[in-house]
Each structure stands twice: as C-alpha cells, then as structure tokens.
C-alpha cells in the first residue's frame, strides 16, 4: 500500500481499516450518503460490506448518493433488505422491481436539488458519508476520483466520513475537479460561471480531518459504461437533429459552434454526439452531467473544445485511452458538483442545448421520462428537468415505436408528466423532427403527428385529435379515450386494436419489461 | 395637455396624435406588442382603436403583452376578430371562450420566457410596440406607469413604438422602476440581485426617439383589482399556512422574517397575506409578480419592509391611498421587467417562498393550474412554474371542494399537469396542510388524503389509492379508473357516484363554468 502518496496527512494513516470495519460504524436507521454518479466514483467496498452487515443484523438505513451506483451495488443493497429509503436516483433493475413493489421508498429528485434540500433541512441529516478518493491532502481535504456528484455537500454535512482511496485511479487525475459549495439560499451566492471552462472552486473537497472515521484502500475500476452502437433508428434521429442545427445556423440563430450541449445517457443521445464527429460543426462545448465515450471521441475528432460534467462514465476501452494519454484531455474537462452542473442560473446563462431521451411523448408535447403506464418507475427524472426547464433549447429524442411496433412512444396523453409542454421545444424520432417553438397546443399536435409519429399510429392519433377538437378546448382531450391505448396494450399486448396472440403472452410480464 | 411636463424631448411633441391615427399604423398580419401586466399599465386607447379598425377592415394581428390586459380590452379584441394569435397570458372570459373554441391561437407561456424567446428569434419579430408611459425623457427613454412587464424588451425590439402618455398617473411615480435588460444567453449576463430591494437597472426604458411613431395622451385609470374579501374557507387555509410557518420558525428552518414571499393572484393568496398582518412575523419582504392590496396593507401594518414586483394591481380604494401619500410607499417598492421578477437564478438565490393557487391537485402532488377537465383553459400558467420550479418552498393552496361539493379539487390523477410532484412542496386546503418534503410518492398520497381532502371524498380517494397499490408501482395508478370522477361529473354533474337531477342540468354548461 503506497499510503504515503495517497494520504498526505500522516496522522490519518492510523485510520486505515478494512471495509468490514468501516461498515461496522453504520447502525440501524442511520442516514448514509455515498459518492457515486452514474456508476462512477462510487463506494466499491464499504457499501457492499454494509449490505452484508445489514442482512445479518436485520437493519435498514437510508442511502443517498449523487446518482446511480456501479454494477450490482444498488441491487445487492436492495435484495439484502438493507435500505428503507433511497434517493435521489437509481437505475438498477433489481432495485427498480423492489421500489415498484412498494417495499423500498424512493425519492426520485431533480439531481440539482438534493444539496439544497439537505442544507435547508428538508431531508434527514447525514450520519455517515462514504466518499471515494484519489488521495487525501495534508489538510484532510479529499481529491475525488471519476465523479463529484454530491460528495462535497455530503462531506460538509456528515457527522462522520469514511474515505475509500481507490488506487486504480491514477494520481494524475488531480486538477480536473472544480469544487464550489454555494451558500444556502440566505447566503445569496451567485454561481458566477459564464463560460463552460471557467473554474470557480478548488481542486479538492474540504474535510475536517477529525471527521474522518475510517480510510479503506481499494483497487477497483468503475463499472464500465455499456458500449451502445448506433443503429439505423438512432442514426436517423441524429440526422434529423443535425439537419435542424444546420438550418438554425443558416437562419442565423446559431453559429457552427452551436451552444454548450447537454446530452442525457442513452443510445440516441450517443448517436447524436457521434453525428457531430463527422459534421461541419466545430469548437463545440459540453455543459452536461455525464461525460461519456462520445465526449472523448469528439475531443479526439478535434470537434470539442471543452467539456464540463459531474462524472466520467466511459467504457473500458475509452477509460484506457483517456488515462493512456491523460495530458491530452486533462485541460479540456472539469468535474463539478451536480448542483453546479445542473444549476438553473448557469444552464440559462450559458444557453445550453439540452438533449434528453423521452420514454413517451403526447401530441401536445408533454414528456414522460420516468414511468411506465403511469405507475412503474424505470430509473427516475434524473437531471432531465433541471436542463429542460432552463435550457436555450429543450430537445427530447425517442424512437417512434418499440417492442416490434406494439407500442407507440407518441400517445394521445402521457400517463405521467415529467416535463410539461412549456419545457419542451423540439421532439425528434426516426420519422422526423417537430419544432414546437412558437406554436399553440393544437398546432403542436398537428406538427408532432405529421413529423414524429410512426405510420402505423398516425391515423389513430389523427382520429383522436380530430374527435377531441370537435369537443373543443385549448388543449383538446377526450378523457374517456385518453388512456384507451394502454388498455389495449394490457389486454392484447399491443396498442393497436387488433388482437395478436404472440404479443398477448408478453402482456403477462411486468409492464416495464415491455418497454425496456 | 401639459405636454411640456410629460414630453421632455420637445422634438417629439410633433408626434402627438389621436388613438385612431396611431392605430392606423397597424396593418394586416402585423405583430403588435403592448405594455400591460395583470390589468395595470396597459394600452387603454390604441388597442381599443385597433379593435375597431381591425373589425371594419377585416384583418387580424398577433398580440403579445406582459400578461392580462385591463377590463374588456382582450374581450373586445377577441370578439372583433382582431387577433390571430395571443401570448403569453390572458384572463378574459370572452377571449377564453374563443380560445377554447379553437378560433384564436393562444401561446400560454411561462411569464419569464417571452423576453428570451423574442431575443432568441423563437417568436415572430415585433412590428409595433404600444407602451403606456408616465412621461418621455429628453433622450426618448420611457418612464412606465403601474407595470413594467415586457415593455423594455418590446421597446428594444419593435420597429416602431407608440407611446400612450397617461396623465392619470402621478409624475411622482418616477423612480420606482428598475429596468435591467439581460443580454441574450450568449451575452452571459449575471442578474446580480442578492436582496429584494437591490436596484440593478435604470429608472426608464431606453428608446431611440426616431422609433417613436406616435404619442397618444390618455387620462384613464387602470382597471381596478376586484376586492376579494376573505371567507371561512380562505381564512382556514391561511391559518394552516401560518401555523406551518410558525412551526418552521420553531424548528429553526426559518426566522420571523421568513424569506421573500411570492403570492399569486386569488382570494386564497390574498387571505394568506392578510393573515400576516395580525401575525408575529415581521420585517417581511416580497419578491413577486403583482403587488396587490395586501402588499400595501402589510406595509401599513408595519410588517413588510420591501416589495419587488412587475406591476401594481390594486383596488380603487388602495390606489387612492397609495397616491394620497406616495412618499410613504415610494422607497419600499420596485417594479421590474417580468424576466427579472421571475428569473430562476434570482428566485433560487433569494430563497423565495412561492404561494400559488391550484385548480386541481392529485394524490401524488401533481398540480393543474390552467385547464379544466384536461381541455378547457381558464387563464394560463402565468408565472406559477417560474416560481414553483425555483423557490425555496413551493406551496399550492386550494379549497378542497367547489360547486357545492360536486367537485373535489383533489383527484386521483390531474387531467393536466402544470407542476410535477418534483416542484410541489406543500399543499394546503381548508381541511389542512400536507408537507410533502422528503416523502416518496406513496407517502405523499397518504399525507394528502389524510390532511387535505374533503371528508366527502376521503373514502373514494383512499379506495382508489388502496386498489392502485395492489396493482403496484412507484406511483400506483389505475389508468382505467383515473378519470372516472370526471366521467361522473360530466354525466351526473357531480364527481360523486350518485345521480343528482339538479346538478345534471349544470353539466350541459361549458365545463369550466362548473368551476369558475
């Protein structure tokens, strides 16, 4: 163990212990806060030890993180019954099932808000924070690893801090973190970022050495991001979007460097970023949550000048590439706390172009990003509303159909609203793009039905809209028919009227499996 | 006409003309932008002349304003067929009917966004701006009257400007306006307000004198605000909310001066502000859109230190009181552009407590502020989302039932979502208060049903929730039953199952009349 190079405060070396010992500080009913944002920089040892300890001692805790944890951790904690409450985000299939069964309470929060909710006393106070670190500075401050997430606020508010020093993370990562802790609302702090590359904080997370209860050494890589290759559908969506940007440049509303881009996780968002690599756009910038493979591909392609995010979540191949020549990337990226990457004032000031994936849209431009059939959660709202509400352009992408066409992702009325029509400017499917800017609801419906809907469902939606208009209204709906398609889906396995014995069998599966 | 005291740029006196002459500049298909925010500081002569001109010449225009116009103006324009498109807000019963019939396109926008949408080129460019003024400075700049709204951006972007100098507005109003025009998003402007009383702009709206095409003199008061007296229901809601604030103070989360308050228009919000007058709270501040009678009552009661808004919309009595002793109020109020009063960054930085009225809430805390039965618009979203999304506390108030109990304002699933559960912290009815902070959806449902629902509907909602939970989900719903109550309402005139011949007749009226 090269303690000396990873713990610059020698007094703290006494606190080195095993994950099991560290986990033993955690008792029944405690509130545990952990680093980790979309699988990166998460606790890889202590949380798993906690799962075992909680199972054998039959107790439960509250767990809050930055976002989702690495492979299996959330699933292990959930199956071991270790958790009574989870927030603000998860994306584990096992945990999802237990949440949907009502056996685990889940507060699905806008990712920008957890820090403020903690500072304002709207959430239970933190007993133990578990933070993955590259090293501990002499003053006790913590240099994070591949994500920042909520680690800074967790460290500031926790009674005790457990640090996981991950020796798999190269020391050269030091310097890419920008830690700024805005004061509480009464503190009147301006988040003075006026350019994506602007640094406003320090390189490490301040931490009182006396609060550090344990230090655990690990040597484990982050769970890699899945490599999602593009396909004709996602490439078609990307094409429509790139054509739109081209037209905006020609109309004089955008330049070839566009504006800072935020892209959610998902194969469609990935395809769009890939599309930029072979486009005429240049000097692009990213102001997003997660820096993915595509971010570094664009840097390599000489298209991307700078990327600001809260985590690096990349594939093994990309990870090796980045740290094989880190100097090349080091001065082109910054990792910040998620209440800074997702701050309304910065997103508005920079004029971010937000590209997020919709699970379901309706004809008036309302978007559902989180729930299946109004009830079953998939992951959560994540940062999508932080960006959709405050961006210069709020774009939602989705394939027009799924499950072999038995489900249309564009429906008369969404069964759950995460983003109202007021926060949605553009909807893109492989069929085409609907530009909703400056349109009234009835005009939005015509545009969406004409441009985005799959041919199999176009007549059905037109009929609904026509009948609804006969009944009237600013946003014409027929409540008695609004959810009929979901009734068909549940009964026949398809939103289309006609029966289909094959798909009927499917309908006995949990509904979200029909989508995922 | 005391031109000399109202037009300090003598060259401009040549442009004095009648409202009819001024209206003659406006042609078929033009985009007209007018001052006016919740009935205050609106065009009182030229828009009405335009209605006549458009009717006789059979042409239509687009009309954008700050918010709603004074008594009848929107109604007159709508009935005269003068308008093809209206934005971003209206509250006129006649216009509402025509919008719901689909005969007039209406873009119901977040009030903070119109200025940005214009600057970004997302809306048609403005041909003629009509701005009510107290006076014109020597440099051509315009001193507004009782509202600012979007007047600054309209003046900046319009090809031609028509000014209505209203001699009914005392000259001493000069100095209460704070005009700040943030640059477009690429301009990277920080809106550096860190206290409600902080002035960041100038006292008048910059205007190139050469753009001033006409000056019309008027002597007409703003349409007065209706005096809405409190009743047992609104007083009960206010009581619950004041008790909550008291508890927050005792818990150490708030001080006796709370945080800056935003209150929407409506009898409930009014009752809450009235409640403060006889409370133990002191040194209150307001950071809101509309300064209403209650604002000035609180100043008189010595409870309110400062109020920032975009308009003064008060009763005749209050108006007389204010301008009878303006020195008393002049240094305690500021009127700003609506993209500043409703700016996300300022609302977040100040930690505003937002109190808005819900038309309908559901058991999971989603709020509908704009539509009846999912289709018929009442007014619009206004600024409610600007505040709900960014406030320290987002509070929605509503009576639990209306129309003699035939309608419950708390339903299984709202028929239209303006504010998702993520943007709603507190719901209050005369029955009680539901504190949704730190709760998962199922916990929110239990809290809302237990505290806010009218006894007549409590069992019905509990049954729905229980059945939905049996089916499962993070946010349990039964799509086939979600809107059954609205089916009952349409069929029987009541959300309750049992038939009622009297109310059945009602159901033949337009649905929104059942609510209004």
**Which SS3 state, helix, strand or coil, does residue A144 take?**
coil
Nearest CB among B108, B184, B483 relative to A482 is that of: B483
Cβ atoms of residues A407 and A367 within 8 Å: no
Chain-centroid distance, C-alpha A432: 25
Angstrom distances, CA of residue A495 to CA of A373, A401, B127, B344: 12, 10, 47, 40
CA atoms within 13 A on the CB side of A225: 27
Q: Cα distance from B476 to chain A (closest Cα, Å)?
A: 5
Q: How confident is the model at residue B267 (pLDDT cuts 50, 70, 90)?
A: confident
Query: What torsion, rounded to 10 degrees, do the Cα atoms B11, B14, B19, B22 define?
Result: -80
pLDDT at res. A3 = 66
Q: B283 and chain A: CB distance < 8 Å anywhere?
A: no
Contact B375 A123 (CB under 8 A): no
* Residue A245, C-beta contacts closer than 8 angstroms, at least 6 positions apart: A254, A258, A281
Query: Counting beta carbons within 10 angstroms of the beta carbon of residue A121, is it exposed (0 to 12), middle (13 to 18) or buried (19 or more)?
Result: middle
Residue A469's closest chain B neighbor by CA? Answer: B102
Q: Cα distance from A375 to chain B (closest Cα, Å)?
A: 5
Q: B392 and chain A: CB distance < 8 Å anywhere?
A: yes
**Which SS3 state, helix, strand or coil, does residue B398 take?**
coil
Q: B250 and chain A: CB distance < 8 Å anywhere?
A: no
Q: Cα distance from B123 to chain A (closest Cα, Å)?
A: 5
Nearest CB among B389, B417, B477 relative to A417 is that of: B417
Contact B473 A122 (CB under 8 A): no
State residue A334 phi and psi, 5-degree precision. Answer: -140, 140
User: What is the set of active-site residues of B?
Assistant: 289
pLDDT at A506 over 90: no
β-bridge partners, B402: B407
For residues A397-406, give the mean pLDDT: 96
Closest to A323 measured CA to CA, from A229, A228, A221? A221
Total-model pTM: 0.95
The CA distance from A13 to A16, in Å, is 6
pLDDT at B366 over 60: yes
pLDDT at A505 over 50: no
B258: left (phi over 0), alpha (psi -120 to 50) or beta: left
pLDDT at res. A498 = 56
pLDDT at A83 over 50: yes
Contact A473 B437 (CB under 8 A): no
Q: A325 and chain B: CB distance < 8 Å anywhere?
A: no
Nearest CB among B375, B385, B483 relative to A473 is that of: B375
Residue A108's closest chain B neighbor by CA? Answer: B440
Chain A residues in contact with B85 by the CB 8 A cut-off are 440
pLDDT digits (tens, 9 = 90+) for B110-151: 999 999 999 999 999 999 999 999 999 999 999 999 999 999
pLDDT digits (tens, 9 = 90+) for A326-383: 999 999 999 999 999 999 999 999 999 999 999 999 999 999 999 999 999 999 999 9
CA atoms within 13 A on the CB side of B159: 10
- The interface predicted TM-score (ipTM) is 0.95
The CA distance from A16 to A22, in Å, is 9
Inter-chain Cβ pairs, chain A and chain B, closer than 8 A: 218
Q: What average pLDDT is seen over chain B?
A: 94
* Residue B223, C-beta contacts closer than 8 angstroms, at least 6 positions apart: B39, B70, B71
User: What is the set of active-site residues of A?
Assistant: 289
Q: Cα distance from B21 to chain A (closest Cα, Å)?
A: 31
* Residue B459, C-beta contacts closer than 8 angstroms, at least 6 positions apart: none
pLDDT at res. A272 = 87
pLDDT digits (tens, 9 = 90+) for B281-323: 999 999 999 999 999 999 999 999 999 999 999 999 999 999 9
For residues B39-63, give the mean pLDDT: 97
Weakest mean pLDDT among A117-126, A263-272, A323-332, B445-454 = A263-272
Q: A111 and chain B: CB distance < 8 Å anywhere?
A: no
Q: What average pLDDT is seen over chain A?
A: 94
Q: How confident is the model at residue A267 (pLDDT cuts 50, 70, 90)?
A: confident
| Residues 53-92, chain A, touching B (beta carbon < 8 A) | 85
Chain A residues in contact with B375 by the CB 8 A cut-off are 468, 471-477
Contact A344 B389 (CB under 8 A): yes
Contact A102 B469 (CB under 8 A): yes
pLDDT at res. A18 = 98
Q: How confident is the model at residue A515 (pLDDT cuts 50, 70, 90)?
A: very low
């Amino acid at each position: 163990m090269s303690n000396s190079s990873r713990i610059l405060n020698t007094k703290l070396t006494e606190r080195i212990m095993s994950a099991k010992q560290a986990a033993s500080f955690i008792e029944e009913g405690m509130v545990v806060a952990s680093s980790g944002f979309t699988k990166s920089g998460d606790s890889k040892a202590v949380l798993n030890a906690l799962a075992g300890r909680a199972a054998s001692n039959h107790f439960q805790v509250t767990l809050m993180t930055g976002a989702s944890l690495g492979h299996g951790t959330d699933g292990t904690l959930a199956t071991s019954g270790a958790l009574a409450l989870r927030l603000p985000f998860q994306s584990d299939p096992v945990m999802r099932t237990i949440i949907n069964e009502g056996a685990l309470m889940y507060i699905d929060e806008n990712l920008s808000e957890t820090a403020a909710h903690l500072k304002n006393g709207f959430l239970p106070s933190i007993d133990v924070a578990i933070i993955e670190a590259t090293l501990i500075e002499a003053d006790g401050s913590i240099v994070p690893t591949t994500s920042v997430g909520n680690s800074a606020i967790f460290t500031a508010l926790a009674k005790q801090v457990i640090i996981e020093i991950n020796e798999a993370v190269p020391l050269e990562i030091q310097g890419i973190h920008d830690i700024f802790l805005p004061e509480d609302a009464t503190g009147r702090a301006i988040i003075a970022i006026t350019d994506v590359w602007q640094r406003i904080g320090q390189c490490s997370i301040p931490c009182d050495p006396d609060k550090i209860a344990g230090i655990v050494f690990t040597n484990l890589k982050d769970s890699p991001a899945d490599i999602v290759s593009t396909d004709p559908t996602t490439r078609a969506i990307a094409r429509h979007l790139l054509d739109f940007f081209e037209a905006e440049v020609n109309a004089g509303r955008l330049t070839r460097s566009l504006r800072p881009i935020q892209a959610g996780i998902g194969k469609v968002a990935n395809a769009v970023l890939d599309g930029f690599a072979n486009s005429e756009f240049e000097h692009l910038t990213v102001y997003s949550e997660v820096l993915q493979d595509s971010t570094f591909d664009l840097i390599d392609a000489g298209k991307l000048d700078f990327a600001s995010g809260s985590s690096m979540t990349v594939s093994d191949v990309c990870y090796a590439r980045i740290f094989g020549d880190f100097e090349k990337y080091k001065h082109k990226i910054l990792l910040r706390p998620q209440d800074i990457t997702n701050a309304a004032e910065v997103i508005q000031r920079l004029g971010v172009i937000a590209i997020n994936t919709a699970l379901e849209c309706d004809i008036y431009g309302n978007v559902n990003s989180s729930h299946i059939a109004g009830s079953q959660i998939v992951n959560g709202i994540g940062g999508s509303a932080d960006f959709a509400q405050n961006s210069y352009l709020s774009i939602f992408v989705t394939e027009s159909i799924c499950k072999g066409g038995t489900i249309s992702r564009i429906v008369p009325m969404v069964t759950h609203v995460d983003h109202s029509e007021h926060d949605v400017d553009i909807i893109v499917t492989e069929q085409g793009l609907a530009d909703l800017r400056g349109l009234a609801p009835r005009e939005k419906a015509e545009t969406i039905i004409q441009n985005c809907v799959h041919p199999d469902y176009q007549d059905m939606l037109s009929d609904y809209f026509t009948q609804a208009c006969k009944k009237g209204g600013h946003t014409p709906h027929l409540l008695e028919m609004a959810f009929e398609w979901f009734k068909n889906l549940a009964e026949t396995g398809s939103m289309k009227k006609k029966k289909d014995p094959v798909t009927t069998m499917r309908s006995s599966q949990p509904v979200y499996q029909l989508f995922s």
